[in-house]
Amino acid sequence: MKSNWILIFFMTIICFIGACQSEEEINYNRYYTTGKQLYESRCGNCHNNDGSGLALLYPPLTDTTYLQSNKNKLAFIIKNGLNGEITVSGKTYNGQMPAQQDLSDIEIAEIITYITNSFGNKQGLKKTEDVNKDLKNCQ
């Protein structure tokens, strides 16, 4: 009986430690998980679920420099699509990425959080407010 109480005591301590995640961490995990689902249903067909793209038809998302230097444009690209020539990983792509106007700001933030923290990228959480700002600045 006594050993049971000790077990419960330790379990409680573990629960408290677990709850110590900061709010940003919790948000990050939440955005990342939903972002993965959204990515796989909205983007994965062309960019592939592992972010490798497809030959010279669809660019990969593994170019960390491209994603870093276009950090504030990603939201606009996802929402409005992209046309014309771009250079990713030293290769030229010239296709048409379809717009996805039906995505909400929070969904875009989730997708960006997933993409920029997968496939070799590590940019941390993308906040919904930032997506909101980026979209306004680009228009």
Does the footprint of another protein cover residue 96 (CB under 8 A)? yes
Contact 30, 117 (CB under 8 A): no
Of 2, 5, 55, 84, the one binding another protein (CB under 8 A) is: 55
Q: Which of residues 6-45 bind another protein (CB under 8 A)?
A: 45
CB 31 within 8 A of CB 113: yes
Closest approach, Cβ 134 to another protein, in A, equals 23
Choosing from 4, 57, 65, 85, the residue that interacts with another protein (CB under 8 A) is: 57
- In sequence order, the 6+-apart residues with CB closer than 8 A to the CB of 36 are 114, 118
Q: Which of 87, 98, 120, 129 binds another protein (CB under 8 A)?
A: 98
Sorted by sequence, the CB contacts under 8 Å of residue 57 that are 6+ apart come out as 46, 93, 95
Interface pick for another protein out of 31, 39, 58, 114 (rule CB under 8 A): 58
Q: Measured from the CB of residue 114, what is the shortest distance to another protein in angstroms?
A: 19
Alpha-carbon span 70 to 134, nearest angstrom: 11
- Decide: helix, strand or coil at residue 121: coil
Binding status of residue 89 toward another protein by CB under 8 A: no
